[in-house]
């Protein structure tokens, strides 16, 4: 068995089963009679739109995806914008999307395609907040280490499209929202900041995010958090014609990877599909677990594969190019300290780890040795959040390019019995 090749295969399988071209059509109803409008946003949204048109034929509509993630559609417009910090292109496309929905009537059908990344790509700041100020909020959140649910709570109360407001804009049309989950727990209210889902949090909850994570925000944003929020509450009439359906989630990808590992003769242990926490801390825990499990393997026993998903976070401490998956991998290598027979991989299934065009990294028993030979201090790299820089120099970077889907982090370790 080649551990590195198997790890790559497990990751590829996890991405493959979440590809909208393979999985979305089964969740589409027959094309409704009358006017059909397709809207949406996220790193998978263009691929989702492509899958819709493969099943339904050309459609009217507009979806927003990340630069480099566009697909050729016959009727649906694919707008490109920035992620993870929004830009003017995303704002302009969002305004056009809202205008398109305003023209929908009770006989029309709206299909919303939502995937991870929609929070930044679909941007319509609340009254009194500029795009530049909204960008400052996103940048502060990304550096804070706050979990995704807390980030999205704040984002919703500073938006005219999140927290059920996209569905409200389409009312009285009938809407079906198909979602790819990239959030721990698969709560549709947190996928893309829940643009089609009723919101239960309050402005006080949003202010608590600012306080708890010490965010330094522009005065206009602070003022907006003292005014009335536009989020739509569950039970609001404007949500009564909207159905939300998650059709792809991290658990499905982990299950597919687990099946492949078993076919390769490995024992599989699932650590969960919804892990959260600081990337370096979770890695340290996983390193200890791996060493303990390996110590209990008898010679000749089947290798053990540990699989996990979820969304880890990074608290910005330095000026390096971070990314939770690369940072996890670096901390994992440090925790394993060159232990023979243990290999690990950590990648984001969308192909982008943090703000870098790198999916993640792989570690092996020689990772720290190569770093020492190159004169690179792994602890120093970790302290300045420069995990991507570390792996670029010692080897182990995984670069996939756009995967056109997003079921969040994928982590796998192979533990072979010690000789």
Domain at 380, CATH number:
3.40.1480.10
Residue 354: per-residue pLDDT: 86
Please state, in angstroms and rounded to a whole number, the distance separating the CA atoms of residues 155 and 190: 10
The yes-or-no verdict on residue 356 having pLDDT over 90 is: no
399 in the same domain as 260: yes
75 in the same domain as 95: yes
284 in the same domain as 256: yes
Please state, in angstroms and rounded to a whole number, the distance separating the CA atoms of residues 326 and 360: 5
3-class DSSP string for 276-335: EEEHHHHHHHHHHHHHHHHHCCCCCCCCEEEEEEEEEECCCCCCCCCCHHHHHHHHHHHH
The yes-or-no verdict on residue 322 having pLDDT over 80 is: no
DSSP 24: T
Please state the domain count of the chain. Answer: 2
**pLDDT tens across 217-261, in order?**
999 999 999 999 999 999 999 999 999 999 999 999 999 999 999
Please state, in angstroms and rounded to a whole number, the distance separating the CA atoms of residues 178 and 394: 41
pLDDT band at 199 (very low <50, low <70, confident <90, very high): very high
Please state, in angstroms and rounded to a whole number, the distance separating the CA atoms of residues 162 and 173: 18
244 in the same domain as 319: no
- The helix (run of H) or strand (run of E) holding residue 25 is none
Q: Is the dihedral of CA 364, 365, 368, 371 positive or negative?
A: negative
The DSSP code sequence of 321-383 is: ---HHHHHHHHHHHHHTT-TTEEEEEEETTS-BTTBS--EEEE-TTHHHHHHHTT--HHHHHH
311 domain-assigned: yes
Bridge partners, 78 (sequence order): 63
Neighbours of 410 (CB within 10 A): 28
Strand 242-248 to 275-278 pairing:
unpaired
Least confident of 133-147, 159-173, 376-390: 133-147
368 in the same domain as 282: yes
Please state, in angstroms and rounded to a whole number, the distance separating the CA atoms of residues 92 and 87: 9
Average pLDDT over residues 98-126: 96
The domain of 228 spans 31-248
pTM for the model stands at 0.94
24 domain-assigned: no
341 in the same domain as 224: no
Neighbours of 377 (CB within 10 A): 11
Query: Which of 141, 142, 143, 123 has its CA nearest to residue 131?
Result: 123
257 domain-assigned: yes
323 in the same domain as 226: no
Could you say which of 185, 217, 248 is where a domain stops? Answer: 248
Residue 419: per-residue pLDDT: 79
In degrees, rounded to 5, the angle at the alpha carbon of residue 80 between the alpha carbons of residues 77 and 82 is 155
Could you say which of 223, 248, 273 is where a domain stops? Answer: 248
269 in the same domain as 121: no
**pLDDT tens across 38-53, in order?**
999 999 999 999 999 9
């Amino acid at each position: 068995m080649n551990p590195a090749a198997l790890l790559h295969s497990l990751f590829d399988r996890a991405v493959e089963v979440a590809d909208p071209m393979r999985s979305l059509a089964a969740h589409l109803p027959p094309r409704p009679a009358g006017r059909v409008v397709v809207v949406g946003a996220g790193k998978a949204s263009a691929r989702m739109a492509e899958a819709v048109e493969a099943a339904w034929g050309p459609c009217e509509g507009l979806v927003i995806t990340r630069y480099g993630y566009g697909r050729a559609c016959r009727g649906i417009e694919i707008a490109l914008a920035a992620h993870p910090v929004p830009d003017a292109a995303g704002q302009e496309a969002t305004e056009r999307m809202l205008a398109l929905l305003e023209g929908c009537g009770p006989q029309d059908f709206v299909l919303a395609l939502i995937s991870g990344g929609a929070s930044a790509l679909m941007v319509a700041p609340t009254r009194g907040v500029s795009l530049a100020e909204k960008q400052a909020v996103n940048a502060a959140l990304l550096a804070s280490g706050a979990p995704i649910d807390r980030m999205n709570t704040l984002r919703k109360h500073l938006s005219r499209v999140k927290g059920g407001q996209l569905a409200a804009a389409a009312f009285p049309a009938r809407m079906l929202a198909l979602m790819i989950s990239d959030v721990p727990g698969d709560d549709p209210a947190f996928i893309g900041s829940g643009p089609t889902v009723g919101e239960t949090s309050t402005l006080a909850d949003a202010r608590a995010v600012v306080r708890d994570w010490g965010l330094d925000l522009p005065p206009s944003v602070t003022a907006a958090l003292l005014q009335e929020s536009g989020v739509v509450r569950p039970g609001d009439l404007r949500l009564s014609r909207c159905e939300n359906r998650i059709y792809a989630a991290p658990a499905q990808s982990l299950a597919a990877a687990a099946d492949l590992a078993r076919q390769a003769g490995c024992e599989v242990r699932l650590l969960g599909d919804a892990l959260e926490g600081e990337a370096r801390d979770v890695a340290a825990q996983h390193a200890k677990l791996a060493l303990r499990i390996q110590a209990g393997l008898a010679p000749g026993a089947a290798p053990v594969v540990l699989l996990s998903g979820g969304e880890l976070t990074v608290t910005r401490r330095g000026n390096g190019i971070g990314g939770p998956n690369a940072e996890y991998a670096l901390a994992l290598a440090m925790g394993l300290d060159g232990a023979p027979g243990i290999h690990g991989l950590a990648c984001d299934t969308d192909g982008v780890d943090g703000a870098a065009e790198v999916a993640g990294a792989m570690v092996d028993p020689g990772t720290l040795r190569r770093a020492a030979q190159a004169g690179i201090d792994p602890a120093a790299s970790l302290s300045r959040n420069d995990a991507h820089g570390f792996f670029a120099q010692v080897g182990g970077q995984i670069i996939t390019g756009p995967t056109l889907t997003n079921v969040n982090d994928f982590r796998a370790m192979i533990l072979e019995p010690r000789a």
